[in-house]
Every structure is written in C-alpha cells, then in structure tokens.
Amino acid sequence: MSMSVGPTSGEQGAIATINTTPLVDVMLVLLIIFLITIPVITKTVPVQLPKAVNIPTQTKPENITIAVDSAGNIYWRNTLVPSQAALIDLVKSEAVKVPQPEIHIRGDKNVRYESIGRVLFAIQRGGMVKVGFITEPDRGIGIAGYNQ
C-alpha cells in the first residue's frame, strides 16, 4: 500500500480559503425567519385605553417662610415672633391643615446655628413634616471655594 501526501502532476493543491457561501445562506434564512415571526410575537389583544386628564385633585397650600436675621430674631411671614412658645403655636395651627404646607427657612449667613436649631425644634414640636432651606446660588466662586 502506498500513500500520496503531496500533489501529483495532474492534481491541484488544496484550497486554503474559507467558503462563506453556506454561512451567508444560513444567515439569510435566519433573518427571514426572524422577520416573519416578529409580527406574530408583538400582536396584542385590541383594547381601548381610557383617556387620562392631568387634573390635580388637591390644591397646593401656600408655603410658609420663616426668616432668621443675624441677631437671631425669628420672623413668621415677615412678622416678628416674640418667643419660642409663640412660634410653636403658629406651627401647630398650620400643621393641622390637610395637606400640610411646606416651611421654608431663610437664615442669615452670619446667624448662629443655635438660632436655626431652635426654629427646627419648634417646627418639629409643632408637627410639621416638610421643611426646606432657602439659599443663594453660588456666583463667582474662586478656586478655593471663597468669593473673590
């Protein structure tokens, strides 16, 4: 028995390239199957959806502004509050409203934190839930974070 390893004089050598024709044929068949089955999958039951109108059910109450000046004086809607107990009474009278209004605190940048803490304590004792702080936007901030 003999075996021939190399090409003989009448034969051509083996083709070293990949035949991509069967690959393209398979991909085209898969693409056609995919395009046919998509409309079948996305078909849904025909229903008439209700029309929605965006109407608020409750009116938003007026926000309350509490200001604290640099001396620590407390102002309820631009009216000076004489004492801590009076502030608590004012907060309690607003806390029973449905829905509760928001309280916005405007504190002077030079006020002691103790004064703001007393206002927060009065708001908590009065039963208010929504509290926010009003600040000025930063303008002209330097590299180190200080105004120049």
- Asked, for residue 51, whether it belongs to a domain, the answer is no
- Asked, for residue 29, whether it belongs to a domain, the answer is no
Helices (H), 76-133: 84-95, 113-126
pLDDT of residue 148: 46
Q: How far is it, in rounded angstroms, from Cα 30 to Cα 24?
A: 10
pLDDT, tens digit (0-9, with 9 covering 90-100), for 45-83: 665 655 655 555 454 568 899 999 989 999 999 999 999
Structural domains in the chain (count): 1
- Asked, for residue 129, whether it belongs to a domain, the answer is yes
- Asked, for residue 127, whether it belongs to a domain, the answer is yes
The reported pTM is 0.54
Q: What is the CATH number of the domain that holds 69?
A: 3.30.420.270
pLDDT, tens digit (0-9, with 9 covering 90-100), for 73-132: 999 999 999 999 999 999 999 999 988 999 999 999 888 999 999 999 999 999 999 998
| CB neighbourhood size of 104 (10 A) | 15
- Asked, for residue 41, whether it belongs to a domain, the answer is no
Residue 103 CA from chain centroid, whole number: 23
Residue 143 CA from chain centroid, whole number: 29
For 80, the domain range is 64-133
- Asked, for residue 11, whether it belongs to a domain, the answer is no
pLDDT of residue 125: 95
